[in-house]
Structure 1
């Protein structure tokens, strides 16, 4: 984990700004909760449980809160979904969420819920198990297969995005994590996924490229090969996802 005062300062500032909304709990999940956080690269994935309904005024206040944080160096990486005790258990509920520097509504996925129960970091208030029911293995597996089949497999056929780092990185990493979850029922970190990918037949030069950007070493070469890298990633992921979906559907 690489983390400096900038991360802690942003988290402290966020919790201070949040006090007026009377949070029941604030949790971190993803890389920060799972001890694979890379400052400046990893997202700060948060959940805030508010004591009360999400009204139009709440939405305005949440937007103002995030606007006040805009001068913090890492603020573009901060994402937060806002739950209430009355909506937290609903897998389909679309919660108010700040992500990619805007407000939207989306569910808290079974993967996130399992992360909160297994590696979630309590920043304040109640623990996740006191407010979130556990996710069953069946619910987790069904979501993972659906995500690979309905989102990632479709995106593999859209070549235009795959010159971008984020698509190559998340496409391969998410596939490896999905396979382990379906085989063993475990959630693994991005670092573990990268360690596994060569053994799963992924193109080793693409895996090395992802690793060099996520875990850079001094003097690591930068290669300008985005088009070829995207083609290699897509050529691998298409058949790999098809096999995964066939095996677990």
Structure 2
């Protein structure tokens, strides 16, 4: 399987950085992985500290993987034991073909505890402090209110597949987490969206692109899809935040 071959190459290249653990989360861990379409979401725990030399080695590592057609979907955050307990701490991350620093969110941390896939070393339960229900609730509300709701007002974003897909799927997942306290897959989120009042033709479009063989989108459709999505998501997020915020 090409994904397994890429993961093997990645771990071989990672070994000189002395990883304590390597974990997968997201679709790869949750059973909804679609090769060539889903991201490969990884967490590497290094002995530390993360120095400028570490950053250079991480960049070199990922650039060397570029010959693999799946490498652009491999994203990895690099944590160290002293930072595992702080959900707000930003960690060295490779994503979208460059380095950045971003937190490992309470949702990711809960995923790791609930169904994280151990690729090497110690399991999350042995290293990563658990996420309380209140921490998870507060993060999900804040993410919907402070990130996704302002994004809805930026019309230019919503002609892009990734914003439509993530906006609607994240909203459905947030709704279930806040109502029921559990995490769900993207597949389950898509199945639930029509019942949440999302526009059926947009949900079908996402489903075709994730699981089927879609035709290239036309300009009239991307324009209409953006309008349908924004008209739905704005009020839906407002109602969710009002109910649970």
TM-score category of the 2 structures, normalised to the smaller one: over 0.9
User: Which whole-Å CA distance do the structure 1 matches of 2:128 and 2:107 have between them?
Assistant: 13
Identify the residue that residue 85 of structure 1 maps to in structure 2.
81
Of the structure 1 ranges 129-138 and 85-94, higher mean CA displacement relative to structure 2 is found in 85-94
User: Which whole-Å CA distance do the structure 2 matches of 1:89 and 1:13 have between them?
Assistant: 29
Q: Which consecutive segments of 4 or more residues in structure 1 shift more than 4 A? A: 220-223
Per the alignment, in what secondary structure is the counterpart of residue 66 of structure 2? coil
Identify the residue that residue 187 of structure 2 maps to in structure 1.
191
Identify the residue that residue 63 of structure 2 maps to in structure 1.
67
Residues 99-120 of structure 1: per-residue CA shift (max 9 Å, x gap):
1010111110000000000110
| Structure 2: stretches of 5+ with no match in the other structure | none
Per the alignment, in what secondary structure is the counterpart of residue 198 of structure 2? coil
Bigger helix fraction: 2
Identify the residue that residue 94 of structure 2 maps to in structure 1.
98
Identify the residue that residue 170 of structure 2 maps to in structure 1.
174
Of residues 150, 158, 161 in structure 2, which corresponds to 1:162? 158
User: Which whole-Å CA distance do the structure 2 matches of 1:64 and 1:166 have between them?
Assistant: 27
Output the TM-score relative to the length of structure 2. Answer: 0.97
Output the TM-score relative to the length of structure 1. Answer: 0.96
Deviation at 1:23, TM superposition (A): 0.3
Deviation at 1:6, TM superposition (A): 1.0
Deviation at 1:122, TM superposition (A): 0.2
Residues 15-37 of structure 1: per-residue CA shift (max 9 Å, x gap):
00011011000000000000100
| Structure 1: stretches of 5+ with no match in the other structure | none
Aligned residues: 243
Cα RMSD after superposing both structures? 1.0
8 Å CA contact 1:6–1:73 kept in 2: the answer is no
